[in-house]
Structure 1
Amino acid sequence: MKNNSTKITAFILIATLICACNAVKRVPDGKNLLVKNNILVNGKSTNDETASNQMYQKPNGTLLGYRLRLNLYNLANLNPDSTYQAKFKNNPGLYERQSKILSAKQVDRLGQSFLYKGIHEFLKNTGEPPVIIDTAKTKKSLLRLKYYYFNNGYFNVITDYTIDSIARKKAQVNYNITTGPAYTLDSIRTNIMTPALDSLYKTNNEPSLLKSGNQYKTSDFEEEKNRITTYFRNHGAYYFQPTYVTFDIDTIGKKNKANVTLIIGNNNIQERDSSRTEPFKLYKISDVNIYTDYSPANSKNKIADSTTYNNFNLYSYKKLKYKPRAITDAIFISKGSTFADFRTTLSSRYLNNLKIFNYPSIQYEVDKRDSTAQSLIANVYLTPRKKYSFGATLDFTHSNIQDFGIGASLSETIRNVFNRAETLEISTRLNIGSSRDMANPNNNFFNVSEYGVDLKLNFPRILLPFGTEKIIPKSMIPSTQITSGFSKQRNIGLDKENFTGGISYNWSPKRHNTAKLDLLNAQFVRNLNPGNYFNVYTSSYDDLNDIAQTYNTTDTNIDEATGKLIVPTGTTGFTNDVLTGKTALTPADAAYKDVESIEERRIRLTENDFILATSYTFTKTTKKDLADNTFYQFRTKIESAGSLLSGISAIGNLSKNSRGNYEIFNLEYSEYIKTEFDYIKHWDFGKEKVLAVRSFFGIAIPFGNSDYIPFSRSYYAGGSNDNRAWQPYALGPGSTNAVNDFNEANMKIAASAEFRFKIFGDVKGAIFADAGNIWNVLDNVVDPKAKFDNLNDLDEIALGSGFGLRYDLSFFVIRLDLGFKTYNPAHEKGDRWFKEYNFGHSVLNFGINYPF
């Protein structure tokens, strides 16, 4: 309590100190602090973000209306060295007295310490100096505003500005814009001097961005330039550039209208000291030369090996190391085809995707053998990466299982394994960590560990015994991946061995769309320490032990010293006694059903799992790059497991076990169908304000050989990337109040919204709301609170809300989120809202990068 009081007092003092700062403390006399830019268009204030961005001066940033950075800057001593020296000048003998206690060197160093200098440097760098109104910059801003409105069709715009004082040393700038009527496009004509380009223009089916009746916008003309240039360069016009496209805008004799003439001149050719013009030519490709081992060092050497394959010429300065098809399949420029920029781009993407070359260079030259000078030779220069490359990483991790972890990995990549551009990756990993959720009898800090090895073989094509070119053409950049892996966990749950293997196909139907078909995905999970179940799942143990205190009849089940069930012999013995009728409990009793439910969950989580699945995943996104904050992303997945094995078992008339299920290697395999839908949308409101939303639905239905979903394929709720008001696995299922230690189910609904904003510098803030839950449906769980029976159960969707801080390090973001339980379905109806909306029940989440 004393520590809390100290923190609260310190917080109040700091807050009072900041609030007491004078915002105009460092504004010189006769000057004014800029508090607002007010843009008035035809007498009305506007919030046009683009217009606001024309300002050379903007007011100091605010946090919830408070100028935090300005006040931090005002707290700083801008000359701490002078202040430190002045202290000794004003107190003769002070320096000598302190030098006797410390030393002259230490006294001098004290002036450079954080207390005297560092704190002021921090405040100055973190803060923001006052923005003082500069009339020269105001006039520049006004001129930019005039151009902005002129470029949007207001050719008669009139501008001026006024400065209004609103308080002592504070003022706002009013930018007065009188636009007049906007000009619209009237007639649109073309004047294209090159007949070949004129014909191309007329056969182009793409709609023009310039349409009669549209308001004049300079940006439309620029986009039209780029559209025409792209079309011409994709249809043979190798020398064409946007500068050849000009527009004549005629407003003479027109009232608020403009006639537009699109003008495209002939090709301008520079020849030494003179220039000439001639009509543009449309070029075809006469040869494609591929240099497979090019480097600046060997560029002047003689070619040592060459071959021709499918009209491609392949050259090597040493012995050719690649089968020709491996290279030519990645090149979309072909002999006899028309020159097209998109073929160059697609070839570069595919070649880069092979991961065996550095970024390729594709250059063109006019073929001097062609008397008409309308042929190009395409030269593709490829610089191989090293055949073998070694990698090592060291990571500090945080996950749903580990509070803190240290991970290390070693990897070896072998390129061009079979001389057809294949890559083989072999990696090993080791992770040691600390988890308060795991059994830790020796109280060791590093109490969990995991190690594993993975192999990944990638083929830059679809690997099937039949052709797939008509279904998945090579322009979709297809690839095949064969994987296998092994991992082993210690002190994580029941200590597992995990064997995986599979074959998958990947391709891109469109530029920002990806598809993945996991033809076969096998996983075998072996629990090494199933007897440790009740030491890990302590909630289940506590429930079972409480029942045993009343109904146990076998002395050997109880530890005499503690009076509790012995793990695992006592828990197993008591459970068997209950389920075989050796106790006073009957199937009609609630306690009997609880024991039955505990045993069902124990069996499900301790049984070894074998999963053989096939899945298809499709992802579509409009995100252009990492800085894009206006986009959406949609992902859907459907997965089927066990059906192939059941079909083979039925055809082979194999026998079933005593439970009526098929087995493979004396192990019941899992059979289910699973589907997921995930949608993310971002809106950018400018000034680094972004609204992000996410919705998710997933369901896995067991059938045939299974009546439950394996733990590794089930869903959980809570955590730093889910509902942040609950710990991972601590929410649901349904309204059960998370009675188990690791709560999971086979259906999940989730939705989140987050508003992100800049606080100062690289520090960002967010307010968020997360909704969702998990339920059991169509499986062997009988608890009605955990099951989803009808739409009325949607009132069990939990709601968490809160706020967070993010620190942007450019290459990743460090994230802290504090979530509060706003609506908790674990409570009785009518008592769910804000029941635990306090710091005592809040959850602090640490994460890397944004949750969605």
Structure 2
Amino acid sequence: MSFSRLHRLFTSLLIALIMLVVMACSSEKFIPEGQYLLDKVELRSDQKDVNSSLLMQYVRQKGNSRWFSLFKIPLGTYAMAGQDTTKWINRTLRRMGEEPVLYDTLQARLSCEDLAVAMQNMGYMNASVDLDRKVKGKKVTAVYRLHPGEPYIIDHFNYDIDDSIIAKVLSPHLMSDTERPRQFTVTSLDDERKRLTRILNDSGFYRFHKDFMYYTADSTQGRQHVNVTLHLMKYVENSNANPTLHPRYVINNVNFIPGDATGFHLRKGVLEDNTLIEKGKYFSATDLQKTYNNFSRLGAVRYTSINFREVPRYDSLVIGKSFAYTTSSTHYLDADIQVSNNKPNTISFQPEGTNTAGDFGAAAVLSYQNRNLFRGSEHLSLEFRAAFEAIKGLEGYKNSNYEEYSIQARLQFPRFLAPFISKNFRRRSNATSEVTVGWNLQNRPEFYRRVFSSAWRYHWTNPVHHLTYDFDLLNLSYVYMPWISETFKRDYLDNATTRNAILRYNYQDLFIMRTGFGVHYSSSSHAFRAKAELAGNLLNGLSSIFKFKENSQGKRTLFNIAYAQYAKFDFDYTQMLHFDDRNSLALHGGFGIAVPYGNSTVLPFEKRYFSGGANSVRGWSVRELGPGKFRGVDGRIDFINQTGDMKLDLNAEYRTHLFWKLDGAAFIDAGNIWTIRNYEDQPGGQFRFKDFYKQLAVAYGLGLRLNFDYFILRFDGGMKAINPAYTSTEEHYALWHPNLKRDFTFHFAVGLPF
């Protein structure tokens, strides 16, 4: 699509949006006589410490939805429909749009009651709500005025436990007056009931639930001050039974039951290692959940079902006329664990079409997976890939084809494999261990490259705290260049005009031995990633001891191959601000720095940073921005030199639901990359604290997303606003001098940018 056509398309879309906004303002034809359109809902509190936005969920009726919290486009779409519903266009517009929300006095009154109850649950026992209606024409704004009053404060928190065994079990866990909640809220009191229930469920009390506890409050001590007592009742099996001590259960037997006729595909030891339910231990709800989690991680298992049966155990003799048996106050459970097997082997074949800078080719991937290699749910995956591409435009080379063959093998163990690890630690750890080996062969007209890689890594999660960890114990990469054409050497590597340190470094044999650690935290409103990576330190230490040889560039070598030495650190943070169920704001910041040192003066190419693209500053294409104010060679994109040692990304994206599966976004991006050292082939690219903020590139734009829940197709159009690599004022401040052909970049991607 030409830029002139694209400009006309954007202009047409803008005119259509303006028309929809106007139609939304003239939707009175759908408002019956004597009724009003609910235009807006507001919550206003006379107490600053009460967050009104959190109480909006208790308002039963809200106004029509708004795109980007501003424009009632769905209502405008509905208003474009005529009254005649027999016409296809009118029915379609109504389905695409949103029917006007008519103000309902009953729903408003119930909202007042719900808001008052919600504030009482927050400890404002004397809370009240008033409703103001502001009418303008056929529209009404509903203003709920919140009067929380003073919160109730807990002076003393007491326990009344009518069960001697439970009292003894809970004794170390009961809160003192200094630990108890200060404000009288339903949430804090219910949290205490849940906490004690969790402790008891993990201490053998299989049939205990929080409804056996209730509260009483005494407010006679003074206004807004209460004494609270938590009462724990005895066990009552049914309405006709007498109260007794709560039964405490011990695991009697653990039975494994195959889920199908084929029997168990897993070794018995593997089943036992993943089961935290043990004979002779008290029943524990936490151990039950961890057992489910352990089996869910096993690729060889399709599903797991765990059932408990109460069984008699006789400890003391009782003699009757015709029988003899024993009784006991302790109760016993048999655990029946049913495990169903997954299909162990799968084979897949996937053809691909490739297009690299206009050079078309084809590729094929053959994959094999075995989910139970050693009958311990070990997951083996093998991937074979072959690719061919016909390269055009090369002169002076004997061959004009590109061939690539690769094999990747990965073996994942669903447990922590390491020496000197106890059996109990392995059972309670949810870590997985993984070993990978790969070989890649590339034959290009300019050079041949061989890459061997292998790694041993661990991965584990902490679901309670929403954390995941990755630890690369050892990661090896060996890059071997068996042949470089004389034409390529003459034109690029040995030519005094075009050669540079970064280019030459990436066409030499190289050995990388690294280790790394990463942590990821994710919740509904926050996400944080951090990763540290170190390479070459172990080899450097061995070099000092065993006196490794040096090559012609003065770099120490292992088996006549120079090894890389660097440190790399990456940080990434995202915060989500949810305004309502249709609108949110995502704020993102990313920073990375990599420092070559010791045996390296330049980072390996695959470890260098680049900027621009669908997940960075979207006014630029991938590798089009930076470092600093570097413009590339003669203003053209420079694949090698437009990389750096440091990266900064700052993004703000307002996301809104449009209709059907379509979401929209408006964004502002800022960032760039820089080099740490002053490389003569990257003028203006070095980071300097006093100048870096002047070299921040800024872009803005709009996005459209097809959200299918399990994956998202994303279309983003970005415009340059501030360009640090400029030749004129108009190019520098593109925001005030927009040029669609010069400044616009379109991106297509899968998934959200952050």
TM-score bucket (shorter structure): 0.7 to 0.9
Alpha-carbon contact 1:187-1:212 (below 8 Å) kept: no
* Aligned mates of 2:531, 2:730 — CA distance in 1: 36
Alignment RMSD (CA, Å): 4.0
Pick one of 280, 284, 300 that aligns with 2:246.
280
The corresponding residue for 2:59 is: 55
1:235-384 superposed matches below 5 A: 235-251=203-219, 255-270=223-238, 274-291=240-257, 294-295=258-259, 318=263, 322-370=266-314, 371-372=327-328, 373-384=330-341
The percent identity for this pair of structures is 24
Aligned pair in 2 of structure 1 residues 403, 809: CA closer, same or farther (>3 Å)? farther
Query: Residue in 1 aligned with 2:499?
Result: 598
Q: CA deviation at 1:240?
A: 0.7
Aligned-pair distance for 1:254?
5.0
Counterpart residue number, 2:187: 219
Deviations 1:398-448 (A, max 9, x none): 9x98999998754332233223332211234567999xxx86679xxxx99
2:42–2:144 contact (8 Å) kept in structure 1: yes
Separation of aligned partners in 2, 1:360 and 1:404: 48
CA shift at 1:235, angstroms? Answer: 2.0
Which letter does structure 1 place at the counterpart of 2:452? F
Alignment match, 1:412: 368
Superposed displacement of residue 204, structure 1:
0.5
**What is the CA–CA distance in structure 1 between the aligned matches of 2:74 and 2:226, rounded to whole Å?**
48
Q: 2:161 aligns with which of 192, 201, 218?
A: 192
CA distance in 1, matches of 2:702, 2:176: 46
Does the alignment pair 1:482 with 2:487? no
Deviations, residues 123-181 of structure 1 (Å, cap 9, x unaligned):
222211111112232233233223223323344444554544212x2222344555454
Q: 1:713 to 1:366 in 2, by over 3 A?
A: same
For residue 281 of structure 1, report the CA deviation from its aligned partner: 3.1
Identify which of 421, 427, 431 aligns with 1:468: 421
The 8 Å contact of residues 586 and 655 in structure 2, kept in 1 or not, is answered as: no
1:807 aligns with 2:706: yes
- Look up the match of 2:320: none
2:745 matches 1:843: yes
Name the SS of the counterpart of 1:692 in structure 2: strand
Per-residue deviation at 1:719?
Answer: 0.8
Structure 2: how far apart are the matches of 1:807 and 1:404?
Answer: 28
- TM-score, normalised relative to structure 1: 0.75
The answer to whether residue 89 in structure 2 is matched with residue 145 in structure 1 is: no
The unaligned stretches of length 5 or more in structure 1 are 84-116, 299-316, 533-566, 580-594
Distance in 2 separating the partners of 1:29 and 1:122 = 26
Q: What does residue 667 of structure 2 align with?
A: 768
Q: Assess, with a 3 A threshold, how the Cα gap between structure 1 residues 29 and 819 changes in structure 2: closer, same or farther.
A: same
**Counterpart of 1:677?**
571
Give the secondary structure class of the aligned counterpart of 1:269. Answer: coil
Cα pair 1:717 1:728 within 8 Å, conserved: yes
Match of 2:516 in 1: 616
> Relative to 1, partners in 2 of residues 1:288 and 1:208: Cα closer, same or farther, differing over 3 Å?
farther
Q: In 2, distance between residues paired with 1:781 and 1:709?
A: 16
The match for 1:68 is 73
Q: CA deviation at 1:267?
A: 1.4
Q: What SS does the aligned partner of 2:491 have?
A: helix
Q: How many residues align?
A: 722
1:790–1:69 Cα change, 3 Å: closer
Determine the C-alpha separation between the residues in 1 that align with 2:10 and 2:412.
58
1:364-386 CA-partner distances (Å, limit 9, x unpaired): 33342254233333333222222
Residues 1:658 and 2:658 aligned together: no
Q: Is residue 13 of structure 2 the alignment partner of residue 23 of structure 1? A: no
Task: Specify the alignment match of 2:452 in structure 1.
Answer: 499
Task: Tell me which protein shows more strand as a share of its residues.
Answer: 2
**Once the 2 structures are TM-superposed, how far is the Cα of residue 654 of structure 1 from its aligned partner?**
5.1
**Contact 2:407–2:440 at 8 Å: present in 1 too?**
yes
Aligned position for 1:314? none
Note if contact 1:56-1:141 (Cα within 8 Å) is conserved in structure 2. yes
Please tell me whether the aligned partners of residues 797 and 825 of structure 1 are also in contact (alpha carbons under 8 angstroms): yes
Residue 790 (structure 1) shift: 5.6
Cα distance in 2 for partners of 1:247, 1:221 equals: 8
Q: What is the TM-score with the length of structure 2 in the denominator?
A: 0.84
Task: From the CA coordinates, give the structure whose radius of gyration is larger.
Answer: 1
- Relative distance call for 1:164 and 1:673 in structure 2 (3 A) is closer
Q: Is the 8 A contact 1:708 1:780 kept in 2?
A: no
Instruction: Indicate how the Cα distance of structure 1 residues 239 and 647 shifts in structure 2: closer, same or farther if over 3 A, else same.
Output: same
Summarize the alignment of residues 748-767 of structure 1 with structure 2, pairs less than 5 Å apart. 748-761=646-659, 762-767=661-666
- Structure 1: how far apart are the matches of 2:571 and 2:357? 25
Change (3 A) 1:182 1:690: same
- Quick one: structure 1 residues 17 and 796, their matched pair in 2 at CA, closer, same or farther if it must change by over 3 Å? closer
Distance 1:391 1:770 in 2: 40
Distance between the aligned counterparts of 1:403 and 1:521, measured in 2? Answer: 33
Cα deviation code 1:27-49 (max 9, x no counterpart): 12222111122445569999712
Deviates more, 1:8-17 or 1:137-146: 8-17
1:471 and 1:336 map into 2 onto residues whose CA distance is: 16
Amino acid at match of 1:364: F
> Do the aligned residues in 1 keep the contact of 2:583 with 2:657 (CA within 8 Å)?
no
Letter of the 1:520 partner, please give it.
L
CA shift for structure 1 position 73: 0.6
The equivalences for 1:45-194 within 5 A come to 48-63=52-67, 65-77=70-82, 79=84, 81=86, 83=87, 117=88, 119-159=89-129, 161=131, 163-167=133-137, 169-194=138-163
1:467 to partner: Cα distance: 1.1
- Describe the SS at the equivalent of 2:190: helix
- Structure 1 residues 144 and 392: alpha-carbon distance in aligned structure 2, compared to 1, 3 A threshold: farther
Output aligned runs, 1:630-709, within 5 Å: 630-641=525-536, 643-646=537-540, 651-653=545-547, 655-663=549-557, 667-709=561-603
Contact 1:210–1:221 (CA under 8 A) maintained in structure 2: no
Matched, 1:421 2:377: yes
| Residue 204 of structure 1: aligned partner | 173
Cα shift at 1:524? 3.4
